[in-house]
Amino acid sequence: MSAAPPRRSRSLPGRVVGLMTIALARIVTGVRGNWQGCTPSPEPRIYFANHASHGDFILIWTVFPAGLRARTRPVAARDYWSAGIVRRFLGRDVFDAVLIDRDNVTRSADPIGHMGAAIEAGSSLILFPEGTRNTTDRPLLPFKSGLYWLAKRRPGVDLVPVWIDNLNRVMPKGEFLPVPFLCTVTFGTPLRFEPGEDRQAFLDRSQEALLALRPGEGEGR
């Protein structure tokens, strides 16, 4: 039950909407990619980022070189992205998301196996280990364990921490109108699962790697 559906090539309307989305993201946020700890690579990787806004993976996508964009898939909740024709189109045709079942009682497929199979098929993944959008004043919510299980299953894969700065101000949860703010996406040094590392230690380590990318107070954005 763990085979991921083969990567689809995105449909023409999907690609057009994708490019329009990127153009809009650039106009509103003037986003800059800051490859601080690594450079773009076609190798399958797991990008894990802080999650404060619906636009988070769009922003990561926007700063990617085009070749990388085509082979990177966001991991998203099936219940949310299957509701309604617009979200279905966005999730499937535009972003080619790896959809997973959040509800562990009713789900039929194992989400970790699903993600692992997508990596096996040559895709990189974008993951939000907080599990939900952070609307608190804290910089990060505690990580869910999915990142650990996935890293354990695919120990040879680079895990790249990605800090998305300021997007929560562009469109806070519950608002529908975007306000232009300058945003940055910072890519840190990749980390890997270490054999025998215990769950909490691994999650703490990846969380610290992500927090370390936060622009300090007054350092400029």
Partner 1 sequence: MSDHPAIALFGGILGVLVLASLVGWILGRRAGPEGSAAIDNLNARIRAWWVMVVLIGLSFLAGKPGVIILFALASFFALREFVTLTPTRRGDHYSLFAMFFVVLPVQYYLIWIDWYGLYSIFIPVYAFLFMPILVALRGDTARFMTRIAEMQWGMMIAIFCLSHVPALITLDIPGFEGRNLLLIAFLVIVVQSSDVLQYVWGKLFGRHKVAPRLSPSKTWEGLVGGIASATLLGACLWWITPFGFLQAGLAALVVALMGFLGGLVMSAIKRDRGVKDWGRLIEGHGGMLDRLDSVVFAAPIFFHLVRYGWTV
> What residues make contact with partner 1 under the rule CB under 8 A?
30, 32, 166, 169, 172, 175, 177-182, 217-221
Please say which residue, 15 or 32, places its beta carbon nearer to partner 1: 32
Q: How far is the CB of 27 from partner 1 (least distance, A)?
A: 9
Q: How far is the CB of 74 from partner 1 (least distance, A)?
A: 26
Please say which residue, 127 or 171, places its beta carbon nearer to partner 1: 171
Q: How far is the CB of 33 from partner 1 (least distance, A)?
A: 12
Please say which residue, 166 or 206, places its beta carbon nearer to partner 1: 166
Strands 184-187 and 32-35: parallel
Please say which residue, 140 or 170, places its beta carbon nearer to partner 1: 170
- Cβ contacts of 114 within 8 Å, gap of 6 or more: 2, 4, 98, 100
Please answer whether residues 181 and 166 qualify as being in contact, where contact means their C-beta atoms are separated by less than 8 angstroms. yes
d(CA 212, CA 46): 18
Q: How far is CA 167 from CA 10, 51, 70, 86, 179, in A?
A: 26, 9, 23, 22, 10
Q: How far is the CB of 180 from partner 1 (least distance, A)?
A: 4
Please say which residue, 89 or 181, places its beta carbon nearer to partner 1: 181
Q: How far is the CB of 179 from partner 1 (least distance, A)?
A: 4
The sign one gets for the Cα dihedral 124, 89, 7, 116 is positive
| Backbone angles phi and psi of 159, in degrees to 5 | -105, 115
